[in-house]
Structure formats: C-alpha cells, structure tokens
A and B are shown apart, each in its own frame.
Chain A
C-alpha cells in the first residue's frame, strides 16, 4: 500500500516535471525568433539593455561576495 502510494506520488511529480519541460521546449520553439522588425534602433536598445544587465549582475555579485567575506 505504502509503495503503491509512493509510486503514485513519485510518478505524479515525474509526470509534472516532464510535462513542464515539454511546455518550456514548446514555448522556446514558438518564440524562437523575434517578430519585431530589427531596426538599428531596436538592435541598439537590446544591446544597451544587455550591457546594463551585465553591469548590474556584476554589481550584485560584488555585493554578494563582499557580504560573504
């Protein structure tokens, strides 16, 4: 009885994650390519955003490391 319950429970979690991974793959496939027209302005904005986020993550990491120390 207990093993049946465990099997049911573990199978349930396994199925949930399998379904989730499937969903995520499907989303990645559906939105693989951007649909906005990539004008120089759009390209510049996205590049600037990447740069901004890299700097911000760097600051966060620095803070994290100094707090750990």
Chain B
C-alpha cells in the first residue's frame, strides 16, 4: 500500500511539474529557436558545406553559452517587471537608454530585411513571387498579434518552432555516418587545414548567430508580458535550457544535412543550397526551403516584437499583446510599419540587399557589447535584484562569456568591414 501511495505521489508530482512547465513554456523556446533565423540557417548551411561535421562540437559549446546569457533576462524580467529597454533607461539614464533603443531598432530593422530576403528566396523556389510572400507574411504576422491574447500568439509561435525541426527528418534521410557525427559533436578538433582565417570567420559567424542583441530585449519583454514573477524563475530557466537544446539540435542537423551532401560545394546562401539539394533529392531541397521560410518567419515575428515592446516601454504606450488594437494603436502600428517597411525594401528592384546583410553584423557589434555589459551590471544590482542577483559562480561564468563574445564579435565586425584585415 505504501508503495502504491508513493508511486501515486511521484506520478502526481511529475504530472504537476509537466503541467506547470507547459504553462510557463514559451519565451525561452521561442527566442532560442527563432535565434536560428534566416541568417542563422545560411551560416549553418555554409558551415556544413565548407567544414562538414568538423565544427559540430563548437555548436554544442554554444548551447550553454546562449543559455547562460538568456537566463539572465528571465531573472531580470521576472524580478523587475521591466523590459530590457526600460531597465536600461531606468538604471543608466537617458543617454545609454536612447543609444540602446535606437541601435536596437536600426539593427532589428536591418535584420528584418534579411528575414524577408530568406522568406522570399525560399518561396521563390516554389514559384511564389516575392510580392505575394511579403504581403501574405506581413498580414499573417499582423493577424498573429492583433487577436489580442499573448497566450494565443505564443502557442502559434511555438507551432512555427515545431516546423523548425524539419531539419531532423531531412538529416536522417541522407543517412549520415553516425559515428563521425557523434565523434565530431563531442571531441573538439580543427578541420583539415588547421586554423585559417576562413575558419576564424566561420566560427565568429556562428557565435554572431547564436547571441544577438534582439534576443535579450525580446525574452525579457516576453517574460514581463507573460506576467512571470519570481516564483516562475525556475520554470523560465528550464524553458530557456530546453530552447538552448533545440537551437543546437536544429543547427547541428542543418550542418549534418549539408555536411553530408554538399561538402566542398561553395554555398552563398541557404536558398541556393535548397536548390542544389533539390537536384539530389526533391524532398531534401523542399525540407530545407520550408525550414528557411520558417526560420525567417520566426525571426521576423520575434525581432519586430522586440522593437515594438522596447519602444512601447520607453514611450509609455500600452504595449502588451493582451491589449486590444484600439487600446494600444501605437504599439501595433509600430509593429506593422516595421514589418511592412522591411518587406517593402526587399521588393525594391536593385536594393543593396547584400550590403544590408553585411551591415547587420556591424550594427549588431555596436549594440551587443553594450547590451551584455548592461545585463551583467543590472544582474549585480542588489537593490533591484535582491536574492536573484548574480552569485560569484554566475558572475565568473557570465563575465567570461561576455568578454569572449565582445572580443570575438568585434573581430567579426572588423573582418566584415575589412575582409583582408587578418590576411587572406
């Protein structure tokens, strides 16, 4: 009897934990999976095509790195009930506040353009003209937010996160050598040819796609909009860990896909890879194209919301997805204008899209160090964080991560501006 009672107690406890997690799940998974946006997929596809499986271990390391950075936004949002933009204004004053806000909006808008480039180029593979993609996607994204409930928006976004897993069956279809994949995933090593400038550039590009400024702003605002409090921090952290796991899984399977079939083939972007894969197996190319569209879509909804939340927090507009359009017109107007203008740029004949793609990295480099430094300082502010401030161990890990990211992302930004600065 005692055994059955204990079993029932454990079952109830596990069931309750799962139920609680399903309620709290959202911001962490969404931000992490959306991190594998159109630009991210292009980076992974190019990494696989150039280095095969040799850099899988590096992605495995980047998972915990992304987790440690993002979980800080969960604590900050849950304790202070402020979004990242508002928190910076409040703590550091108007100068740093405006710098962060305007830089964020510029970086987000440019990144949005790259998401639309990804979506239009993937849909072009299926014969859909870019203007139809832009119009339909903008309407869909506007429809997702104007329905007036954060919960509904989050569940639709989670559905799109599920579509992002399309790379997993695609990678299984190509029968990769499991032993090589596992070895490359757990044993850090350099690809044949050793440490070259190309490899350095690729490693930095992978870091750049894993930690982006908009992610900090998005997750903290989402935590606040969802109404998470101090008691939800553990669940929010677990949600972020699950998201970090999925972001690595998606990226790894993307690399496995191109590393198996397109190794040695020069790949400029993910859409080109999808076309090449269609020549080998039409299902693989279709999977990659669907995945690219989904990545751009997820990236676009999160990035445009990150900016709209940030502007709403600072300007004092009603800025919750739980508020109807008529009660917060500026928030929804800003969101829609951001999407429509970024989509419109892609449709301009001869628009400098390649330049915009490169510029995104440079602008992100100006914002990322500031956002990360502010995050560390805010997490060490005992007055506002109380017992949830960073401990010694967290500070050692987080400051170490932030310093490495700042140095590498700066070098990446410089190498984008001056391609020959580190030699050929």
Name the interface residues of B175-207: CB closer than 8 Å to any CB of A. none
- Cβ-defined contact, A23 with B91, below 8 A: no
Would you call B414 and A32 a contact (CB within 8 A)? no
Does A42 lie within 8 Å of B89, measured CB to CB? no
B365 and A31 contacting across the interface, CB-CB below 8 Å: no
Those of B272-326 within 8 Å (CB) of chain A: 314-316
B residues contacting the other copy or chain, number (CB 8 A): 30
CB of B381 within 8 A of chain A?
yes
- The verdict on A53 contacting chain B, using a C-beta distance below 8 Å, is yes
A residues 17-40 touching B (CB-CB < 8 Å): 23, 27-28, 30-37
Query: Which of B148-156, B159-167, B370-378 interfaces with chain A?
Result: B370-378
B171 to chain A, nearest CB (A): 39
The answer to whether A59 and B369 touch (CB under 8 A), given A28-B94, A42-B377, is no
Chain A residues lying within 8 Å of B365, measured Cβ to Cβ, are 56
Greatest chain A CB density within 10 A among B94, B97, B362 is at B94
Partner of A31, one of B93, B99, B383: B93
Task: Report the nearest A residue to B317, measured CB to CB.
Answer: A23
**Is the Cβ of A32 less than 8 Å from the Cβ of B93?**
yes
The answer to whether A60 and B315 have CB atoms under 8 Å apart is: no
B410 at the interface (CB under 8 A from A): yes
Is B4 part of the binding interface, using a Cβ–Cβ cutoff of 8 Å?
no
Does A63 contact B418, Cβ atoms closer than 8 Å? yes
**At the interface, yes or no: B90 with Cβ under 8 Å from chain A?**
yes
**Cα–Cα distance between A50 and B116 once the two chains are bound (Å):** 33
The CA of A11 and the CA of B377, in the complex, are separated in Å by: 44
Quick one: which of B373, B378, B380, B410 contacts A49, CB cutoff 8 A? Answer: B373
Whether the pair A53, B91 counts as a contact (CB closer than 8 A) is no
B96 / chain A contacts, CB cutoff of 8 Å? 46
* Cβ-defined contact, A37 with B315, below 8 A: no
Q: Are the C-beta atoms of A59 and B93 separated by less than 8 Å?
A: no
Is the pair B417, A63 in contact by a Cβ cutoff of 8 Å?
Answer: yes
B8 in contact (CB, < 8 A): no
Chain A residues whose C-beta falls within 8 Å of the C-beta of B413 in the assembled complex: 56
B43 CB, nearest partner CB in chain A, Å: 22
> Which chain A residue shows the least CB distance to B97?
A31
Q: Which residues of the other chain, A, contact B90 by a CB distance below 8 angstroms?
A: 31, 35
A residues within 8 A CB of B316? 23
Give A66 to B365 CA distance when docked, in angstroms. 20
Q: Are B417 and A59 in contact (CB under 8 A)?
A: yes
Q: Which of A36, A45, A53, A60 contacts B362 (CB 8 A)?
A: A60
- B93, A34: Cβ atoms under 8 Å? yes
B417 and A31 within 8 A (CB): no
Q: Which of A44-58 contact B (CB under 8 A)?
A: 45-46, 48-49, 52-53, 56-57
Say how far A21's CB is from chain B's closest CB, in angstroms.
Answer: 12
Query: In the bound complex, do residue A45 and residue B383 qualify as a contact, i.e. CB atoms below 8 Å apart?
Result: no
B94 — which chain A residues lie within 8 A by C-beta? 27-28, 31-32
Q: Select A37's contact among B89, B362, B369, B383, beta carbons within 8 Å.
A: B383
Tell me the complex Cα distance, A27–B370, Å: 20
B418 touches A52 (CB 8 A): no
Chain B residues within an 8 Å CB radius of A41: 377, 380
The smallest C-beta distance from A36 to any residue of chain B, in angstroms, reads: 4
Q: Mask for B359-393, Cβ within 8 A of A = 1, else 0?
A: 00010011001100100111011010000000000
B417 touches A60 (CB 8 A): yes
B381 x A23 contact (CB < 8 A):
no
B93/A37 in contact, CB under 8 A: no
Is there an interface contact between B93 and A33, defined as CB atoms closer than 8 Å?
yes
Q: Assess whether B315 is in contact with A23, with CB atoms less than 8 Å apart.
A: yes
Q: How far is the CB of B358 from chain A (nearest CB, A)?
A: 11
The minimal Cβ–Cβ distance linking B352 to chain A, given in whole angstroms, is: 12
CA distance A33 to B92 in the complex (A): 7
Q: A: which residues have CB within 8 A of B?
A: 23, 27-28, 30-37, 41-42, 45-46, 48-49, 52-53, 56-57, 59-60, 63
Q: 9 A-B Cβ contacts within 8 A?
A: A31-B90, A32-B93, A34-B93, A36-B377, A49-B369, A53-B366, A56-B365, A56-B410, A63-B418
Q: Rank and list the top 8 A-B pairs by shortest CB-CB distance, nearest first.
A: A36-B91, A34-B93, A31-B89, A31-B94, A28-B94, A63-B417, A34-B92, A35-B90
Known: A27-B89, A34-B93, A45-B373. 15 other contacts (CB 8 A): A27-B315, A28-B94, A34-B92, A35-B90, A36-B378, A41-B380, A46-B92, A46-B96, A48-B373, A49-B370, A52-B410, A53-B99, A56-B410, A63-B417, A63-B418
